[in-house]
Amino acid sequence: MLQDKKNILALIPARAGSKGLPDKNLKQLGGHPLLAWSVRACISSNFINRIIVSTDSHEYASAAINYGAEVPFLRPTAISKDNSTDLEFIKHALNALQELDSYIPEFVIHVRPTTPIRNPRTIDTAIEEFSLNEEKYTSLRSVHEMSESAYKTFEIKKGQLVTAFFGKKDLELSNRPRQAMPLTFTPNGYVDVISTRYLSSTGKIHGDKVFPFLTEQVIEVDSAWNFELLELQVQNSPELITRVFGAN
């Protein structure tokens, strides 16, 4: 049960070197760096008791510490590249924490700074849901419903021909009304819950029995256009800032 969990770690990845939006983790959103939104949301959680930012940047580390996170190590350059995986930085962080102070969390709460608009109570609900169902699931991932079913999407293959996704032969099937298509969902980076017991026994962070934790639709920052949408959202709803950072 959740009350028995003593070590719940929030792990926030914030590597430097983004090409789509340079230094996006330090871009100011509502008067605060992007990564600070994730740090402060985790600080407001009732269950998370340690917050680590995994970064390869001294500048990012300084910003994270200023907002209340720990940065007891820097992430090696070899696992801070465009093609580096979540598994690499999570395993590195867990190994480093075990070596530094014999710390082994029971859950890792993976919180991506590129999805900054969160409700800390929603993070807590995700942790509670996974804890109650830990024996049935290998992990929890947050998702939201796609505005357009993935069954309406296309690929462009050799010969520059549009082909239906999911192996459909008849393109006309993609013209069916949205209501006739299966609902599809996209992972959104709001909050993932990883069992270190499962990770250590399998070498996998999610596994094949993943608890789907549904959230409202959220904006993920991959481009300047995404960031402009976020700025507009925060300007129109200043209570989003207060919810995470408190009143000035």
**157-to-42, 161, 166, 168, 229 alpha-carbon distances in Å:** 43, 6, 13, 14, 32
Query: How far apart (Å, rounded) are the C-alpha atoms in residues 40 and 45?
Result: 9
Q: Which amino acid is at 157?
A: K
Radius of gyration of the chain (CA): 19
pTM of the predicted protein model: 0.92
Cα 43-46-51 angle, rounded to 5 deg: 35
Residue 8 Cα to chain centre, angstroms? 16
pLDDT at residue 38, rounded to an integer: 98
Q: Where are the domains of the chain?
A: 2-144+185-245, 147-183
* DSSP one-letter string for the chain: -GGG---EEEEEE--S--SSSTTGGGSEETTEEHHHHHHHHHHT-SS--EEEEE-S-HHHHHHHHHTT-B--SPPPGGGSSTT--HHHHHHHHHHHHHHHH----SEEEE--TTS----HHHHHHHHHHHHHTTTT-SEEEEEEE-SS-GGG-EEEETTTEEEEGGG-S-GGGGGS-GGGSPP-EEEEEEEEEEEHHHHHHHS-SS-S-EEEEE-------SSHHHHHHHHHHHHH-THHHHHHH---
The pLDDT profile of the chain, 248 residues, written as one tens digit per residue, is 565 556 999 999 999 977 778 889 999 999 999 999 999 999 999 999 999 999 999 999 999 999 999 999 999 999 999 899 999 999 999 999 999 999 999 999 999 999 999 999 999 999 999 999 999 999 999 999 998 888 888 888 776 778 777 666 677 777 777 777 889 999 999 999 999 999 999 999 999 999 999 999 999 998 999 999 999 999 999 999 999 998 76
Query: How far apart (Å, rounded) are the C-alpha atoms in residues 5 and 225?
Result: 40
Q: Phi, psi at residue 58, to the nearest 5°? A: -65, -35
Going 130 to 133 to 134 to 137, the CA torsion angle's sign is negative
pLDDT at residue 174, rounded to an integer: 76
pLDDT at residue 192, rounded to an integer: 98
Domain 2-144+185-245 -> CATH class: alpha beta
- Which residue, among 220, 57, 198, has the nearest Cα to 139 in the 3D structure? 198
Would you state the structure tokens that stand for residue 148, as one six-digit string?
Answer: 């357009």
pLDDT at residue 168, rounded to an integer: 61
Task: Kindly give the pairing relationship between strand 154-157 and strand 161-164.
Answer: antiparallel
pLDDT at residue 181, rounded to an integer: 82
Asked whether the beta carbons of 49 and 8 are under 8 A apart, the reply is: yes
pLDDT at residue 4, rounded to an integer: 58
Would you state the structure tokens that stand for residue 23, as one six-digit string?
Answer: 């230094």
pLDDT at residue 200, rounded to an integer: 95
